[in-house]
Amino acid sequence: MPKRFGRSANTPHRTSRRAEHMSAFHKAGALLLSSRDADLVSVAEIAKAAGKSVGSFYHRFADKDLFLRATIERTLRAAMEQADEVLDAHVRLTEAASKVIRAASEHMVGVLHGLNAGVIRTAIKRSQLEPGAFEPVLHHRAAVADRLVEALAPRTKKIDGLEQRIRTAVQVAHATLIDVLLHKAGPLRDGQASLPERLAQIMQATIGASDEDLPPRAIARSQNRLAEEKGGKKERARKARQFT
């Protein structure tokens, strides 16, 4: 049987090219949705913004509805990966609690506002008829809460319900950003330079703990070690008195 030349359908070259096309469509969709409602954005406009053909679009997506769903899922999946990196407990445990909370605030603002704002608005609108459409957004919120718990909760056992307070703070911040995104009213506004800091203040107030209450893990360990050494000295002194 003669040997066939050329690349097979699953070569790295074709896989890379397919990924490049998908990424181009998703980025174009997010950009268009940032300034217009999804119902007003056509497939032709998405293809043009991506620098691809309409045929190429339909080769990858059955229709615009499936494209929007895929764009929402892709955007929030990337956000969850970013949350894992930005709020990595192995790094954040050694930082001041306020700095970690500020990092979480900045991350959420970046994900829910800015270039992603149209994608989030589309997820909210679609959820009115399709509840599952908002699930990727909620999964991202849960991921942020999980990472923040990992970075803050191990610092102390003295605060009752600390984990629940942290998760509540993330929920409050998330709901606030959604409200700011949808409504142009109130002191907090989309695009404000002070928004991440003010959101961080709300989160820290909800948690109800200062940097002193939640010392970096390295400091907390040092304090524990000093307490243990102090306790050991007292115990040795007590035993010494028993034999005198």
Indicate yes or no: pTM above 0.95: no
pLDDT in tens, 210-238: 999 999 976 555 444 444 544 554 554 45
E strand or H helix at 102 = helix 97-112
* Secondary structure (3-state) at 151: helix
Residue 131: pLDDT over 90: no
d(CA 177, CA 241): 63
Residue 20: pLDDT over 80: yes
For the chain, the domains span 17-61, 69-229
Six-digit token string for 9: 């359908």
Name the band, by pLDDT with cuts 50, 70 and 90, for residue 15: low
CA dihedral 162, 168, 169, 173 (to 10 degrees): 170
> CATH number for the 69-229 domain, one of 1.10.10, 1.20.950, 1.10.12, 1.10.357?
1.10.357
Instruction: State the helix-helix crossing angle for 117-127 and 135-152, rounded to 10 degrees.
Output: 120
Average pLDDT along the chain: 86
17-61: which CATH topology?
Arc Repressor Mutant, subunit A (1.10.10)
